[in-house]
Each structure stands twice: as structure tokens, then as C-alpha cells.
Structure 1
Amino acid sequence: MIWVIIALVVFIFQVLTILIVEYRHPSKAVAWQLILFVFPLIGFVTYYFMAKEFQRKRTVRRHGIVSTELRLRALRRTKLIHRISDLGDGQFIHQERLFHLLQSFSMSPITSCNKIEVLQNGHETYEQILKAIEQAEDHIHMEYYTIRDDRIGERFKEVLIRKAMAGVQVRIIYDGVGSYETHGSYFSELESAGIQTCCFLPPRLAFFEKRMNYRNHRKIVIIDGTTGFLGGINIGDEYLNGNSKLGFWRDTHLGIYGDAVYSLQDIFMRDWWFAAREKLSGQNLFPEHQCQSNEQVQIVSSGPDSSANAVLECYFNAIAVAKSRIYITSPYFIPDTSLLMGLRTAALSGVDVRLIIPQVCDSQIVMFASLSYVEELLEAGVRIYRYQKGFIHSKTLIVDRLLASIGTANIDMRSFFSNFELTAILFNSGSIEQVEKDFRRDLQASEELRLSSFKSRPRLHKIGEAASRLLSPLL
């Protein structure tokens, strides 16, 4: 009897601990309680090592100030957007609330001296990045969630080694979990050629530091401080040829030439300091450049090291002010309560809300979790499509003629609360139209879900969706 009482006390202690620590995230607390109920002791040990709140160290904050000062010194030479009348081809004139939110991201000002290139899929993206690398004269900075030692990985390695041997400074950050399958010899060869590589939170270190759950999901390339790339594409053959399970891999990336690269550089410098403990400085990181075009861009980053959820706040506010349309593409769709309510309310108010998700997915539990939201969205008038041509990995958002977003963040709680992410907000009509053109092309390769037929799905699927949704805050 005494052992039953002890076990009950221990279990209650575990439950109360999770409730107290996760009081700001009720859905996350419920998910962990479910795991704890099924695996009483193992669940709590897993929680202890994986779910510790990520706290930004004092050294990271201090370096953030230093790198920001360097970047802002460079931006003083350029034109920033400070007035609402100057933003978005006049589309923002009555959007004071959204404008003030964007202006509140002081570390990511809206720049207006940029040339934008929307890139589709791996072939086009890799060719543009490799071309830019070949033209590098001072430095190459790369930051990826996944770098594979396959054919495209070998091609990148050869080019980077050649540039390093020619005197170009090359630095690479890769995520410890995302690149876990890549052999250490791959990075050893790079380092032997003088390239600096750094693993962001190696799995073993992250486990014992209780930060295993926090991953660097950013994809950044910076060439000489004036050319940059970001989006959904990592370095791996699946982005070129798909794979046997998922087939064709549809993705979206972005090339930026101009002032917005300063913001990318600042993000890389802070991530490099966190991962490598090396402070980068010098005006060569923020060089002067010729203004090739006047496209307006804002780089918005977020992560568990910040008290704000900038990407989520930006998406929510943009959705809340939509008047005519909201178009979203996301391979993983697990919205938090605020975004779910925003999409439902918009559709019920007559806004044309459309969502593209995959037909095939690399995770069945994530797919079930995504489908658990479909019925209530369809009932509200949201039009949902499943991509049929292969696996769609693009992460895009279009709101009216106000803005479009291309980035690394999915519409899921992991991207908003646990991962280090970033997105580029585009304001000019030409850029928005290009993203919309690609969205409509993807619609043609998708099948629309109908409420009547979706309701008739097998009962087993519904059970899987319910269970996956409970666990979705942890996926």
C-alpha cells in the first residue's frame, strides 16, 4: 500500500511540475500530460531533457547589440521605410496597426533598396546559389538545418573548398539534428581546406543542456554581404529528384540583392556567436553596394531565445486585417489557437482563404494532426487543397495586395515556438504577383477537399487525427 501512495505522490508531483512550468502554453501542457499518463516516469524524464525553456544567455544579448550596431551603421547609408505612405505601393495607407507592428521589429527594419528573385525548386535555387558562390570575393556565410553528403552536397563541398583555397573566408553553421546523418568526414574535409564549420546544438550536448527540442531551422546563404538567399530548401538530393516515398519535391526559395542582406548577416553573426563563440566584426560584413532596384523587404526572425514570437505575430496581424484574400502554402499545418481562429473568422467574413497542404507527407503523425483541423476550417468556408504532383515543401503566405512571405517557418507550433526561423516579407506588387502566380500554378496541381466527402473518411483516421492533434504541440 505504501508503494502505491508513493507512486501516486510522485505522479502528482510530475503533473504539477509540468502544469506550473508550461502555464503559458496550455496546449503544450496537455500534450505532455498525455505522454505522462501513458508513460508515467519515462514521460517526465523525457520532458526534463527536451522541454526546458530556452533562455538567451547574457553573452548572446550583448553580441546581438554589437552586431546590430554594425548593421544599423551600414543602413544609415540607405533609405529605410519610416512612413506608412511609402510602403507597399500605397496599399498600406489604411493599415496603421499592421504597419506599427512591422515597425516594432527594430532589429529588422523595412529596407527599400533591394532586388528580389523568387526561385522555384532545387535545380533553379542551387544553380543561383552556386553561381553566387563562384563570384564571391570576400566571404561566404552559410546556415542550414540539413546539409547532406550526397551528390549536391559534394558539389557544394568542391566549390566551397576551391573558393577557400583562393582566399575567400567561408563559414558554415549546420543543425545537429537536421544534419545528424551526415558523416563527420564531410565537415572534416571542409575544415582541412580552411573552412570554419560549426554545429548548432550538437545532439549530445543539447540533450544534457536540456535543449534537444530547440533546432535551428534557418536556411541562409550570404555572399560578400550584399547577396543573400533564404527559403525552404536545404542541401540534399531530395530537393532535386525527390525520393521514392515522396516523389517530386516542390519548394520555394528567395534570392535577395541589396540592403535586406544586412539583416541576414546580422542573424548569421548572432547565430555564429551562439554556436562558435566567435565574435565577427568588420565593415566588410556590411559593405556599400549599388542599388539595383527599389523593392521593399523586411527580414523577420524568431526563436526560443526571444521573448517575442515575431513570425507568428506578423502572420496573425496580417491575417486579421485581410479584406479580400489569404493564400497559404505549408507542408506542415498545425496552427495555434490564434491563427486557427483568425483563418476561420476571415473565411466567415467573406475573405477568400485558401490553403495548400501535401497529399503525401514525410510524417504520418504530422499529416494526421494537420487533417484534424480540416473539417472545422471547411465548415467556416476555407478552401483546402492537397498537392498531387509530389511533396510540397513551400512556406508562403499572401495577404490581399499588402504583402507576401517566403521563409523557413511552417504554419505549425514547432516553427512558432521551438525552432529558430526567419521569413522575408515582400511588399511590392511585382513580387507579390510572382508569389501568387506560383501559388495558382500549385492549385492546378492540387485536388480540392470537399466537406461532404471529407466527413465520410474512415473512423480509424478520425481517431488518429484526434490523438495526433493532442500531441501536435510537440511535433
Structure 2
Amino acid sequence: MIATILICIVILLLLIILDFKLGRKSHKNNARTLPFTETTGDYRLYKNGAPFFEDLFQEISEAQVQVDIFFYLISSDQAGRDFLQVLKNKAREGVPVRLLTDRLGGYQMSKSIRNDLKSAGVQFYFSAVPGFPYFFYKLNRRNHRKTTVIDGKIAYAGGFNIGRNYLGENPKFGDWRDYHLRLTGPVVTELHDVFLDDWYGASGEKHNPIINHDEGKHSLKIVPTDGMKLEGEFLKVIESAKREILIGTPYFIPTKKLMDAFKHALERGVTLQIMVPLKADHPFVKEAAIPYLEQLYRLGTQICLYDAGFYHSKVMIIDQSIADIGTANFDQRSFFLNKEVNTFVYDEAFISDLRQSYMDDARNAIPFDEEWLAQRSLATKINVQIAKLLRPIL
């Protein structure tokens, strides 16, 4: 009996591995690419959920032409209900409203909630619905984007989802540090293209973006990725660094190429600083990061453990001349599985302010050092070993 169970487990594991390998091959052959060049726009940065939600909800309520929204996660708590109510009110006014959420991230979007949206006139679809063939691989292929386009004039993109966590109202996590951009100008058209490509993938409906003819003062680049090319984009900017690399991320599970790029940067005298949260919001992600962080720490990297709440920001600043704010975490899931969208900003004044915010958080963080490493519990050390096996899907 035990032998039969073991054989079944082995067969199941082999089937999952085969599913993953064949799914990856299919993914490589069919990945969606939206290659954008540098454009222009203007922006406002949000670091906290309350002002972001306030402005987002207000501008949705003032929409006149079209509201297109994708959030990876929409909670069914009060914040989520308030958000959906704004959408329903707008749809009842006769303004077209299209809403997408990831199939797994949107698990709280129950059938009754979806029927309520439909009754109000909101068009809703799930994105990245797992199916056959390659079910296990597709189960891990998430659409992690967060994009909003209002009237083709205003766009939002960044790290916040919808829920009370993002307002800092969950006592487990406390204050929630994140970065999100409000964008205007020609860059809005490109983000609309990203949303509409996701809408086509979910609904089969093709639409053209609303062209934004407003002028933008600053240079920007939208980088949408589909489990491809993000590693290469990050490599380019890291390899270009001459003085300083600052990285903030909730999950740090880099590839060998990126680790090599960090080591080469340190060898040529570049200052490297990494900030991650002290607490984790998912199993094993913190432990998976520790071996990489320890390697870089011993090579001279300054590493900070954010303890003033939860650190969910995804930010990279290179030489105070390039800043990346987006949805992509610094992990292998974002590099090779998820759909993500990042915004590269080249405005030195904006980057200077962003860098100051980063440094303010770093000064209040706990240092990742010999003392912290020595205090790790036995459970943490065991989980580090388990996490090594799970890196590709963390």
C-alpha cells in the first residue's frame, strides 16, 4: 500500500515537471510583446494608500468617456466594496466601464459580486484563467499588472491593489509602503494599449486606445513584460550603473545573471543598497531571499530590513538618473511567469525626491548584518533550505 502511494506521488511529480517544461516552451513561443519606445508624460507619486484611493475614486467618478481598470487583487472588504460601488455608479450613468482582475488574485470576486457588477452595467472578466493543456504551468502564470486608464487622459500604474491592507488597516502588516504613479500625457496611450491587450486576452474583444494628444514634459518608458525580457531590461540598467544602485522590493530572488551583474557592479566600485521587508506576507519568500542577501552583504552591499509596516514597493534607482517603478518584484516569478508593467522615469528632480523617500525608509530600517544573521531561529534556517527548492515559483 505504501509502495503504491509512493509510486503515485512520483508519477504525479513527474507529470507536474513535464507540464511545467512543456508549458514554458509553449509560453516562449506565444508570449505577448508590446515593445514601446521612450515617450513623454507627467506624473504624481503616491507612497500611501489613502491619498491614492481618494484621487483614484474621485477621478473615476468624474469620468465622461471610458473607464478601463485592471487590478491583480480586489478584496471583498470595505475598501473593495467602496471601489466597486464607484464603478457601478459610473456605469449606471452610462459611461462604459471595463474591469479586469487576475483569476487567482481576484478569488474574492464571487459570483454574486460579479452578477451585481453586470446588473449595474460594468463589463467584467477574469484574466489569466488556468486551463488545459499545461494546467500547472498556467496556474503559476499570473497577470500581476495594476493599470487604470480614465477617458484616455489619466492613467495610474504601480504596486497598490484594492483592499484594506493597502490602506494600512491590517494589524498584521501595519502601515503599507508602496509606490504608484498617476500619469498624464502621451504615456497614457501606451498604458491603454497594455490594458486593451489584456482585455483582448480575457474577452476576445479588440479595441483601439484613445489617443492622448496632450503634451508631456518628462521622458518616460513603459515596459510591459509577459514572463519574458524583464531580466534583460533589469540587466541593462544594472550594467550601466557607474555610482549607485538602490533597490526596494518585497521579494528578492534574483537570477544568476542578475547576481553576477550585482557582483560586477560592486567590483567596479558601485554602491549597492537593497531594502526588503522584515516581515513576510507569503510563506518562504523571506527565507528564499536570505542566501542571496547574505552573499551580497559579504561583498559589501548595504541591506535594510523595513520594519515600519510592510514594504511592498517595487523600485530601482540607478545613478540618480533612471528610476523604475512598477508591478514587477525582484523575483523569478516576475521575471519568467507573470505579466507585469513597469515605468522607467528619467527626470532627475523626480528621481532625487524618490531617492530621498527611499533613504528616509532605509534610515528607519533594521540592518541585515552579522548580528541579525546570528539571531536567526532554527525554523528559519530549515525554511531557507526548503525555499531553495521552491525558488522558480516564488
Q: 2:217 aligns with which of 277, 294, 306?
A: 294
Query: Are positions 1:108 and 2:36 aligned together?
Result: yes
Equivalent in the alignment of 1:412: 331
TM superposition shift of 1:131: 1.9
Query: Are positions 1:454 and 2:357 aligned together?
Result: no
Alpha-carbon deviations, 1:247-276, whole Å to 9, x = none?
A: 222111111111111111111111111110
SS of the residue corresponding to residue 182 of structure 1 reads coil
Aligned partners of 2:90 and 2:168: how far apart in 1?
27
CA change 1:56–1:267 in 2 (3 A) is farther
- Structure label with greater radius of gyration: 1
Alpha-carbon deviations, 1:428-453, whole Å to 9, x = none?
A: 11221122122012112211122365
* TM value normalised by structure 2: 0.92
Q: How does 1:47-446 map to 2 (within 5 A)?
A: 47-49=17-19, 52-53=23-24, 55=26, 107-112=35-40, 114-203=41-130, 208=135, 211-281=138-208, 285-291=209-215, 293-304=216-227, 309-446=228-365
Alpha-carbon deviations, 1:243-302, whole Å to 9, x = none?
A: 232222211111111111111111111111111011113xxx3234332x4111100011
TM superposition shift of 1:7: 12
Name stretches of at least 5 consecutive residues in structure 2 with no aligned partner.
none
Alpha-carbon deviations, 1:14-35, whole Å to 9, x = none?
A: xxxxxxxxxxxxxxxxxxxxxx
SS of the residue corresponding to residue 140 of structure 2 reads coil
Quick check: 1:60–1:273 contact (8 Å CA) kept in 2? no
Name stretches of at least 5 consecutive residues in structure 1 with no aligned partner.
12-35, 65-105
Quick check: 1:344–1:382 contact (8 Å CA) kept in 2? no
CA change 1:365–1:58 in 2 (3 A) is closer
Aligned partners of 1:392 and 1:122: how far apart in 2?
13
Equivalent in the alignment of 1:45: 15
CA change 1:372–1:166 in 2 (3 A) is same
SS of the residue corresponding to residue 145 of structure 2 reads coil
TM superposition shift of 1:46: 3.1
TM superposition shift of 1:420: 0.3
The residue type paired with residue 286 of structure 1 is I
The residue type paired with residue 212 of structure 1 is L
Aligned partners of 1:461 and 1:278: how far apart in 2?
48
Alpha-carbon deviations, 1:225-257, whole Å to 9, x = none?
A: 121111111111111134232222211111111
TM superposition shift of 1:183: 1.9
TM superposition shift of 1:60: 8.8
Equivalent in the alignment of 1:86: none
CA RMSD of aligned residues (A): 2.6
Quick check: 1:325–1:400 contact (8 Å CA) kept in 2? yes
CA change 1:354–1:256 in 2 (3 A) is same
CA change 1:212–1:349 in 2 (3 A) is same
Aligned partners of 1:425 and 1:261: how far apart in 2?
14
TM superposition shift of 1:49: 4.9
* TM value normalised by structure 1: 0.77
Question: Which stretch has the larger CA shift, 433-442 or 135-144?
Answer: 433-442
Aligned partners of 2:147 and 2:136: how far apart in 1?
26
CA change 1:141–1:58 in 2 (3 A) is farther
CA change 1:338–1:210 in 2 (3 A) is closer
Quick check: 2:188–2:212 contact (8 Å CA) kept in 1? no
Aligned partners of 1:271 and 1:438: how far apart in 2?
32
Aligned partners of 1:208 and 1:365: how far apart in 2?
23
Aligned partners of 2:75 and 2:371: how far apart in 1?
43
The residue type paired with residue 53 of structure 1 is R
Question: Which stretch has the larger CA shift, 264-273 or 199-208?
Answer: 199-208
Aligned partners of 1:472 and 1:133: how far apart in 2?
39
Aligned partners of 2:212 and 2:190: how far apart in 1?
14
TM superposition shift of 1:155: 1.1
CA change 1:214–1:411 in 2 (3 A) is same
